[in-house]
Amino acid sequence: MKSRIPLIVLALSSLLLLLALNAGAQPPPKKPPTAECTVSIDKIADCPDAGCGDEGDVDLNKAKNRIDIPAAADVKKKTLAFIRTLPQPAHWDTGADRTPLRKPGREGTPVEVQGFLKLAKPGGGESCNCGLTRRVDTDVHMVLVDEFDDDEQTSVTAEISPRIRANGHDNWLYKNVKELEGEYIRVTGWLMLDTKHIHQTHRLPNERPNKTLKRSTNWEVHPITKLEVCQKSVTACKANQGWEDF
C-alpha cells in the first residue's frame, strides 16, 4: 500500500498541472460588447462615448471618442517611420483588455507628425458613432506618407472624429480636407491602435471577421486635435517655419 502512495501523489500532481495549463490556454475575460442602439440617436451629440450596436468594442470606442486636447508640453514629436515600427499584436478579440497597449509612448500618448496627405477618405457608420452615416457624424480618414509618390501600403492613418469637429472645428469636413490632398501637413492628436482591423482569435456571436486595411500599420493618430498646412517649402516647414492652422 505504501508503495502506491507516491504514484497517487504523482498522478494528482500531473492532473493539477494539466488543469492549470488548460486554464491558462483559455482566452482572457472580455468586457461585453456595445449595447444596442436606440431609435433616439440621430446625431453625434446623442451618441454615448462608448458607442452602441454592431458588436463594438467599448474601450476602443472611448479611445476614438475622446475630446480632450493634449497640453503642448506633453506632445511628442514623432515621425511616420516611428509609428510604422510600433509593435502590434497578431490577433485581437473584441473587448480584450487594452492595458498592455497603454505603455509609455504607446496608446494614449499625444503626438505630432507630419507628412504628405496622399488621400482623404470619408468614414462610415460604425459602433463608435452609433452607426450614424451623415458626413458630419463620421470620421475623415487621412492617408499620410513621407513622399507624395509613396504607395498607400506604406502609409499611416490619421483621423478626424465627428466629436472633435463638433468642438470648435466645424470646417474639418471631408469636402474641405479633400482639397488638401498633395499638401504637406502636420497633425497633432492621440496615438491609438485601431484593433478593429486586427483579426480576432475568438469572435463574438454573429461577429464578422475584422478586415485589414491598405496601410503599413494599425497604429493611428486618432483623434486629431490640431491640423496645420505647410505654406512654405517642405524644407522650411521641417525646420518649423511656415505652418498655418487649417
Q: What percentage of the chain exceeds 70 in pLDDT?
A: 88
Cell matching residue 38:
436606440
pLDDT at 29: 53
Whether 24 maps to a domain, the answer reads no
Whether 145 maps to a domain, the answer reads yes
Please state, in angstroms and as integers, the Cα–Cα distance from residue 217 to each residue in 32, 238, 245, following that order: 26, 23, 27
Average confidence (pLDDT) over 21-29: 45
Is residue 119 a contact partner of residue 153, using CB atoms and an 8 Å limit?
no
Whether 9 maps to a domain, the answer reads no
Whether 132 maps to a domain, the answer reads yes
Whether 162 maps to a domain, the answer reads yes
Whether 23 maps to a domain, the answer reads no
**CATH assignment of the domain containing 71:** 2.40.50.140
pLDDT in tens, 77-106: 999 999 999 999 999 999 999 999 999 999
Over 80: is that where the pLDDT of 108 sits? yes
pLDDT in tens, 125-180: 999 999 999 999 999 999 999 999 999 999 999 999 999 999 999 999 999 999 99
pLDDT in tens, 33-60: 899 998 789 999 999 999 998 789 999 9
pTM here?
A: 0.87
Count of domains for the chain: 1
Over 80: is that where the pLDDT of 17 sits? no
Q: What is the average pLDDT score of the chain?
A: 90
pLDDT in tens, 182-200: 999 999 999 999 999 999 9
Residue ranges making up the domain that contains 183: 44-245
Whether 205 maps to a domain, the answer reads yes
Please state, in angstroms and as integers, the Cα–Cα distance from residue 91 to each residue in 60, 88, 154, following that order: 15, 9, 21
Average confidence (pLDDT) over 8-28: 44
Whether 11 maps to a domain, the answer reads no
pLDDT at 40: 87
pLDDT at 189: 98
